[in-house]
């Protein structure tokens, strides 16, 4: 069903908004508890879902921003900055206010905290759910912004950057509302005694921690930022959104909607601000260690993630960093389907996903399949053939691969391609964008002795086929590597119940999610909101999970008052 919204009109209260969106909240809370399929926002960009003309209007809205000044106020800003270039080959030339005075920015962020706190869990939740409705109404515009900052293909940008990102944010809201309302607002405490019982009335208030800083990433600017943004906002914290310089527009649109809804509902719009920068400003580092900043959400590389964890000591820090995602090949009942599934997983968004598989362990003696024992070279050939079927036509390939997001990905691909290449990468010509940078995945052969190579993440369209002494060694290497270096995903292919159980135990030891014998339309690098936990916080790749109670509960505290009655 198409969602329609007229926007928040002045005078609409937070209570009105909560009532308007209560049905959606209740459905999300129920889905979090059941872990069954649920999606509040349709992932199909079809006109049958969103209406005739919606796609064209959204495209026009995105293009209208190009070459202009984005209309957004940021306290403490001086001058403007334009830093974005599309992986499809052109500069966006959108300019944003450039933060120059951090003191002014943080002071403005804190100014509306008391009123926002006093709105209570229901009031804040109503406002956030209204923001979702208005973001959803701009989903095609957001998809264009995500596509041309991250390099995702349009359908993926619409789904991951729009519908699925909204679902993940709604999931965070559902968990936060549940945690905030677990304790009643008031209670009468009565202790029996010999005479009159002792009676007290107690009040419990959800109190925010302080300013929250969300540090956006280049590849998934909305999907990775919205959960933290809204988990902090709904629990009462003002949020400073510091986008990656290469992917500002999706978060600028987000902040614009947040500010509009907050203002229309009677709250200070500076509860959500955009902190754009020149890359040389190192604004994230300056903000992260400020005493006013009590929450930090970061997605990105290990170096800065580790620095945040070590230096932002005054804040609770949620990080999602690099990991070494692993596939263990032991045996399979359908070799062709296995190869096809792996080929798709390697190709999706050119492997520029924190969940994309990288290390594929296979016994040097081969793996049993429905087509007989396959040697490592034959496994590589099977994956190569599947990649050819999937990506042989350039026009179809670009809709899966998208564009390469930056020069660092190309450099890693070039370095990996100097090794023992089993399946070579090739350049793909984009039919619509002549200057787009598009590459197919490469598969590189290694042995178990090459730990100096495969124990580090090689972000991008690179996978390693690693020969081992057998499945036992493969599982041991998987466990030890993830414990030491982290991972977001793991996968196993085996027809042996004992091997699958062995792999489950290793995944529990390593604290990583496991997929078993994926042969159909579900892939290891995809996760479903309300059902799949994204990350665990139980290995070095991430300190938190999308989404569990721990992700939201530490963003606020209960403070009580009590009196005799």
Q: Give the pLDDT confidence score for residue 179 in this predicted structure.
A: 98
Placement of tokens 């929450």 in the chain: 295
Query: Residue ranges per domain, the chain?
Result: 14-21+73-187+199-321+544-564, 326-516
Tokens of 192: 């029996």
* C-alpha count within 13 angstroms, C-beta hemisphere, residue 411: 3
Find the mean pLDDT for residues 378-403: 97
Provide the whole-model pTM. 0.95
Torsional class of 17: left (φ above 0), alpha (ψ -120 to 50), beta (otherwise): alpha
| Average pLDDT of the residues of the chain | 96
Q: How many helices (H) and strands (E) does the chain have?
A: 21, 19
Q: Give the pLDDT confidence score for residue 216 in this predicted structure.
A: 97
Stretch among 8-12, 232-236, 539-543 having the lowest mean pLDDT: 8-12
- CA distance to 43, 239, 479, 531, per residue, from 39 (Å): 9, 26, 33, 10
Return the DSSP state at 95.
Answer: B
| Cβ–Cβ under 8 Å, residues 328 and 503 | yes
The answer on pLDDT for 56 being more than 90 is: yes
The answer on pLDDT for 426 being more than 60 is: yes
Q: Give the pLDDT confidence score for residue 6 in this predicted structure.
A: 47
The answer on pLDDT for 4 being more than 50 is: no
Find the mean pLDDT for residues 21-40: 98
Q: Which residues contact 458 (CB under 8 A, 6 or more apart)?
A: 358, 412, 416, 464
Q: Which of 99, 517, 543, 80 is nearest to 333 (CA)?
A: 517
Q: What is the pLDDT of residues 182-237, one digit of tens each?
A: 999 999 999 998 888 999 999 999 999 999 999 999 999 999 999 999 999 999 99
Tokens of 65: 């921003």
Torsional class of 314: left (φ above 0), alpha (ψ -120 to 50), beta (otherwise): alpha
Q: What is the pLDDT of residues 550-563, one digit of tens each?
A: 999 999 999 999 99
Find the mean pLDDT for residues 396-400: 97
Find the mean pLDDT for residues 520-534: 95
Return the percentage of the chain with pLDDT > 70, whole number.
Answer: 98
CA distance 56 to 378: 46
Q: Give the pLDDT confidence score for residue 440 in this predicted structure.
A: 98
Instruction: Evaluate whether 14-21+73-187+199-321+544-564 and 326-516 have a shared fold.
Output: no
The answer on pLDDT for 1 being more than 50 is: no
Q: Is CATH 3.40.605.10 what the domain over 14-21+73-187+199-321+544-564 is classified as, yes or no? A: yes
Find the mean pLDDT for residues 485-508: 98
Q: Give the pLDDT confidence score for residue 7 in this predicted structure.
A: 66
Q: Which residues pair with 487 in a beta bridge?
A: none
The answer on pLDDT for 64 being more than 90 is: yes
Q: What is the pLDDT of residues 263-285, one digit of tens each?
A: 999 999 999 999 999 999 999 99
In CATH, the number for domain 326-516 is 3.40.309.10
């Amino acid at each position: 069903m198409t969602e329609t919204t007229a926007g928040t009109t002045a005078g609409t209260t937070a209570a009105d908004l909560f009532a308007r969106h209560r049905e959606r909240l209740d459905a999300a809370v129920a889905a979090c508890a059941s872990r069954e399929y649920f999606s509040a926002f349709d992932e199909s960009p079809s006109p049958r879902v969103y209406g005739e003309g919606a796609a064209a209007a959204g495209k026009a809205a995105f293009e209208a921003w190009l070459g202009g000044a984005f209309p957004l106020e940021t306290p403490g800003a001086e001058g403007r900055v334009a830093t974005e270039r599309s992986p499809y080959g052109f500069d966006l030339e959108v300019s944003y206010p450039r933060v120059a005075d951090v003191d002014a920015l943080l002071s403005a962020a804190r100014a509306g905290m008391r009123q926002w706190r006093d709105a209570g869990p229901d009031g804040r939740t109503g406002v956030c759910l209204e923001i979702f409705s208005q973001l959803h109404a701009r989903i095609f515009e957001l998809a264009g912004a995500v596509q041309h900052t991250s390099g995702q293909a349009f359908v993926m940008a619409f789904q991951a950057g729009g519908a699925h990102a909204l679902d993940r944010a709604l999931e965070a809201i559902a968990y936060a509302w549940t945690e905030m309302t677990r304790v009643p607002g008031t209670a009468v405490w009565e202790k029996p005694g010999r005479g009159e019982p002792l009676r007290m009335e107690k009040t419990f208030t959800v109190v925010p921690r302080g300013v929250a800083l969300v540090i956006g990433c280049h590849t998934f600017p909305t999907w990775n930022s919205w959960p933290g943004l809204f988990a902090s906002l709904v629990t009462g914290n003002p949020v400073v959104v510091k986008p990656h310089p290469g992917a500002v527009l999706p978060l600028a649109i987000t902040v614009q909607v947040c500010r509009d809804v907050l203002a229309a509902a009677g709250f200070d719009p500076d509860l959500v601000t955009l902190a754009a920068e020149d890359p040389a400003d190192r604004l994230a580092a300056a903000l992260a260690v400020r005493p006013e900043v009590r929450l930090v959400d970061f997605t990105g590389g290990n170096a800065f993630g580790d620095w945040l964890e070590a230096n932002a000591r005054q804040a609770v820090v949620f990080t999602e960093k690099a990991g070494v995602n692993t596939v263990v090949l032991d045996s399979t009942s359908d070799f062709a389907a296995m190869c096809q599934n792996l080929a798709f997983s390697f190709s999706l968004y050119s492997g520029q996903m924190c969940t994309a598989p990288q290390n594929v362990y296979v016994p040097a003696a081969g793996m049993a399949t429905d087509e007989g024992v396959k040697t490592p070279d034959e496994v590589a050939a099977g994956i190569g053939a599947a990649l050819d079927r999937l990506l042989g036509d350039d026009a179809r390939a670009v809709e899966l691969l998208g564009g390469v997001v930056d020069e660092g990905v190309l450099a890693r691909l070039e370095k990996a391609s100097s090794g023992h290449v089993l399946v070579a990468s090739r350049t793909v010509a984009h039919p619509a964008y002549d200057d787009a940078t598009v590459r197919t995945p490469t598969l590189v052969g290694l042995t178990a002795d090459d730990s100096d190579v495969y124990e580090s993440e090689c972000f991008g369209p690179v996978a390693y086929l690693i020969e081992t002494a057998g499945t036992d060694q493969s599982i041991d290497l998987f466990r030890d590597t993830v414990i030491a270096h982290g991972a977001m995903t793991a996968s196993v292919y085996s027809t042996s119940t004992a091997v699958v159980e062995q792999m489950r135990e290793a995944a529990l030891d390593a604290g990583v999610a496991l997929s078993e014998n994926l042969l159909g339309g579900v892939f290891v690098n995809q996760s479903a909101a309300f059902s799949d936990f994204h990350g665990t916080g139980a290995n070095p790749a991430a300190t938190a999970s999308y989404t569990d109670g721990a992700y939201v509960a530490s963003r606020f505290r209960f403070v009580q008052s009590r009196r005799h009655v």
